[in-house]
Amino acid sequence: MKQLVRRALLTLLLGACLLGVAGAAGAGSFSYVGSAAVGDAAAEEGEGHEHETLFRWINFALLAGGLFFLLRKPLGAFFGERSASIRKGLEEGRRALEASQAQLKAVEDKLQHLQEEIAEFKLAAAREMGEEHERMRQATAQEAEKMLQAARSQMDTAAKAAQLELRLYTGRLAVELAEELIRQRLDDAGRRRLVGQFLARLEAGRTEH
């Protein structure tokens, strides 16, 4: 309903402006004919031209005022909606920018955390490798010490066995010599000979063992 009223007013306003222009043109023509009749054409023509210009300015002012009155609300609403749309777009852009910046910050934080985890993993791996190397070194040293102790024990056992065997051999030789001395009742020369043989056999036995 309001739009129909505005259109009607706008039509009437345009009609009034057109009528004013037509009236101004008619007045100019009438003045021109009267002046030709009385012989004062120049003065009447100038006055008609001034009236025509005045009517044109009045019509323009009325038309501009009417258009402004009729279009101020639609234009105001249009520019208001346009401004609201622009503000909404700017707000959405700001929010999108903030969201993208937040996502970028989160990614940077994750990358920083990942780099820290990688550094910690490298340190832990190096520490574990060092500890494993130390354990292997200690185990190797302990195994070598055990092998050395076993070799020493075997050597000691072999030496003790050789000493025992030598003692037994010496004892047997002494018994044999004593038995031989008793049986033969040798003189001093014979005893010295037997003792020399005993010592020679004893030395030969030591050399063999």
What pLDDT was estimated at residue 37? 41
Stretch 33-40: mean pLDDT = 42
| pLDDT of 162 | 83
Structural domain boundaries in the chain: 2-89, 162-208
Cβ-contact 190, 177 below 8 angstroms: no
Query: Taking the mean position of all CA atoms in its chain, how far away is CA 197?
Result: 97
Asked if 175 and 158 count as a contact pair (C-beta separation under 8 A), the reply is no
pLDDT at 88 over 60: yes
Are 205 and 166 within 8 A, CB to CB?
yes
What phi and psi values does residue 89 have, to the nearest 5 degrees? -65, -40
Question: What phi and psi, each to the nearest 5 degrees, are found at residue 187?
Answer: -80, -175
Q: Contact 73/60 with Cβ under 8 angstroms?
A: no
Q: What is the pLDDT, as a whole number, of residue 28?
A: 43
Q: How many CB atoms lie within 10 A of CB 55?
A: 19
